Structure 1
Amino acid sequence: MESYETEQREGLQNNAISKTVSEISVGEWLISMLIMIIPIVNIVMLFIWGFGSPDPRRNYARASLIWMAICIGLAVLFYGVVIALFFTVGGY
């Protein structure tokens, strides 16, 4: 029983160490932000970071893609309502 608890503690310590090793430096974040400025490239990179090989930016990329999908959906809904109103008012 004691060896099992020791293995669990060592596993938790190894996870803590691996998290600090995979941290991204400030320079790498600056480059990532620069990539996010470039149209089309940013969407491609978000898909690569979010669903490609394990990357520390995975959660950020997935969250950004979710927000993009929500914004696109709201924009389509808004413009659909505006166009529908335009055609209904234009009939009079």
Structure 2
Amino acid sequence: MDQNNTPHPNVPNDTAVMTVKDWIITLLILAIPIVNPIMIFVWAFGDGNKNRKHLMQAYLWIALVCLIIMIPLVFFIMTRFPAAVMQQHNLGQPAYEAPMNNMPSEKFDANSLPEQDSSADNMLEQESEAASEVPEEVPENAEAAQ
């Protein structure tokens, strides 16, 4: 191609050098989520520019190698790591079966608690009775207190 972007008569169009505009359009098409995989295969195996075709074939080879490496790695992590985490944090057991070191082993029984009357009058009476039961210690003479 020469400067005005017209193909050279001896160079076939499928091997012409792609311009920056062609690459920008290619990258924008690859940025579309559903269109992306379809266009990769179309450009990799279809008739078109050889530069784009070779780039997409290289992309597919790299994707295949990454997939071959990632499948066993993910399988290994998913089978080994969660079991270790669950054992460490006692996950996988219901909360009521989890060991509690500071709690008594007997189950809590709400019926064994003493009954309490929460009315305001009874509370005032209990406070006054408690205050009257405390003996006041008054020294016999002021000198003995000091």
TM over 0.5: yes
Number of residue pairs aligned between Structure 1 and Structure 2: 76
* Structure 2 residues not aligned, in runs of 5+: 1-9, 89-146
Give the equivalent residue in structure 1 for 2:71. 76
For the pair 1:67 / 2:68, whether they are aligned, the reply is no
Give the equivalent residue in structure 1 for 2:23. 29
- Answer with 79-88 or 45-54: which moved more: 79-88
User: Which structure's residues are more often helix, by fraction?
Assistant: 1
**What TM-score, normalized by structure 2, do the two folds share?**
0.44
Letter in 2 for 1:25: T
Task: Report the CA distance shift for 1:40/1:65 in structure 2 as closer, same or farther (over 3 A).
Answer: farther
Measured after TM superposition, the shift of residue 28 of structure 1 is 0.9
Q: Which is higher, the Rg of structure 1 or of structure 2?
A: 2
Higher relative contact order (CA 8 A, sep 6+): 1
Deviation sequence 1:39-84 (CA, Å, 0-9, x none) = 2312111100110114231100100111111222222121101012
- Answer with 45-54 or 34-43: which moved more: 34-43
Q: Distance in 1 between the 2:40 and 2:72 partners?
A: 24
Task: Report the CA distance shift for 1:58/1:36 in structure 2 as closer, same or farther (over 3 A).
Answer: same
Letter in 1 for 2:59: S
Give the equivalent residue in structure 2 for 1:18. 11
Letter in 2 for 1:27: K
Identity rate of aligned residues, in percent?
26
Letter in 2 for 1:70: V
- Answer with 35-44 or 45-54: which moved more: 35-44
Query: What root-mean-square deviation, in Å, do the aligned CA atoms of Structure 1 and Structure 2 show?
Result: 2.4
* Structure 1 residues not aligned, in runs of 5+: 1-16
Measured after TM superposition, the shift of residue 34 of structure 1 is 0.9
